Amino acid sequence: MTRTLPPLLEVAWDDKHRCHAWIDGDGPPTLVTRGLRETWPLDERYVSRLRQSGLIAFARMLNIGKNLLIDASLLSALVDCWRSETHTFHFRWGEMTVILQDVSFITGLPLRGRAVVPPPRSPDWKARLNHRFGQPILERSKGVPHVWLRRFMHCPNDATDEVVRCYLIAYLLFIFKWVMFPNTQEDMVYPSYIHLAESIVDVDDEDVPQYNWGSAVLCATYRGLCDASQRRTGTEPVLSGCHTLLQLWPWEHFAGTAPDGLSLLCHQYAAYWRTTCHLVFSHMVEPYNPQRVMRQFELHQEIPPALGRPFARRSHLQTKMGRKSDDWLQTQQPWVDVWQTATDSILQEARPYDEGTYDTYLEWYVRHTRTRLTGAPPARHADSSHAERLDLGLDPHRAARHDDSLWKAQRSRLEASDGASSRTLAPSIFPSERVDPATQQHRRRIVRAVATQRLYADAIVVSEGPYADAVVVTEGPYADVVLVSEGPYADAVLVSEGPYADVVLVSEGPYAGAVVVTEAQRGHSGEHGRATRNRARMLS
């Protein structure tokens, strides 16, 4: 019997998607990452050549150290929401994706230049490396082993120019394999990457090739997300692609966490951001769909067009398996040629984003995709009762609210976090200036900001009882957010689901700026408790 799916989903992709592991009650298989697990020092003697090749901004970012090591939990949550049909994340509030603008802002990699399509591996690659580095590679090795490469992590202070070039090649192989283009081979660098490194190092300054690193990294990341989101049997799914880009991307879209200001270099390749050309890297060709996420450009969002021919499915059948000696540049030449005129195929849109159109988009969106990973029914969490909490001397207002938030948090977990983890509060909810929280003006301002927009049409204003003047948003992207405008918790924001579950943010009054974590010690232990406390520290 053929299943009926929402229009944005395709059976060929959906049947193997990780979400079905949640639906079946098994949980998805462990996601394996092959990316950055250590940092290599950036030697100042490499800087000139890295700058000429367009890699210096990325190398400087990597040099900050352990803060960029892999966050497997965050990456797994993103993979769960990825849909290969559209090359976007299907979050509860709409589609989002990593766009070329994000690549520019986060990595600083160039979007103009030669396509990154390594040539077939040379049959004498081992002999060349052995002669150049003076360190033999085992004859049975199919690539450059990680253990061998680590010998060249620290360039000696008294190294000659030739020795420095050797260490620079090793550095480039490291960032190609473990940072920019991680693949399924854990401890081995593809021999074809040697040519890329040598083409940068073994030429005069004026002849350093200019590669289109940015779109290549995004292409590899799209392919990695597509492959990892598919449910595998017998083997653990591996997430390839640029983990550094992928795990920094959500922070760019969290309110208050993105860094202020942008270097002019970030806008150097702005002409490419809204191109509709396909992305190319090595044997991969991946569709790029900025028309689906125009809100990310702060531009007017039309209802995205219907899915066309399933190009992504066909392109994923093109792999290197059994084709190690193929000349992929010749195979990909038509796509490479198209990218040379990428700025001629730009989405033209001058209208700014209008929040008033969001409702129309959201109504279309919820009918065309699966907004939750699973339809598991909610269940009330078994925790100490309100009366038991009173016996412990807890504040009755907080205790009652705590009981309710426990149930909502449990419901969220049963429904298998489906993208609510990235939900942020719209700045328009909060008053633009500080006012006395006891005044009716302040209460009306919050109620008006929340209830007058259709986005918050399902808000409930509580007029009596211990939660008088609270605004409870029951549906939409800010569901389960409680805004308390008066009383002992005036101006507090209680977030009962998502990444800040059970965190109370006090925005004004004697406890302004305080973060009260109600779940860190009770109801959540182990990794979840630590994660909650970490979130509280981040918010404070």
Q: Residue 226 has which token pair?
A: 């597509």
Distance, CA of 365 to CA of 359 (rounded, Å)? 10
| pLDDT, position 219 | 96
Q: pLDDT per position in the chain (540 positions), as tens?
A: 556 788 888 888 888 888 877 777 676 777 888 777 778 899 999 999 999 999 999 999 888 765 677 788 888 889 989 999 999 999 888 999 999 999 999 999 999 999 999 888 888 899 999 999 998 888 788 889 999 999 999 999 999 999 999 999 999 999 999 999 998 777 889 898 999 999 999 999 999 999 999 999 999 999 999 988 886 555 677 889 999 999 899 888 865 556 666 667 788 899 999 999 999 998 899 999 999 999 999 999 999 988 766 665 667 767 666 566 677 778 888 888 999 999 999 999 999 998 888 889 999 998 899 887 765 443 333 334 444 434 444 333 433 333 343 334 334 334 433 333 333 333 333 333 343 444 444 444 444 444 333 333 333 444 444 444 455 544 444 444 555 544 444 444 544 444 444 444 444 444 444 444 333 322 333 333 333 333 333 333
Four-residue CA torsion sign, 339, 345, 351, 355:
negative
Determine phi and psi for 90, rounding to 5 degrees.
Answer: -100, 90
β pairing state of 32-33 and 238-239:
parallel
Distance, CA of 287 to CA of 75 (rounded, Å)? 21
Write the DSSP symbol of residue 296.
Answer: G
Q: At what angle do helices 125-133 and 161-175 cross, to 10 degrees?
A: 130
The residue extents of the domains of the chain are 1-30+70-115+211-320+330-377, 37-54+117-208, 392-539
pTM of the model: 0.69
Q: How do residues 52-80 score in pLDDT, each as one tens digit? A: 999 999 999 888 765 677 788 888 889 98
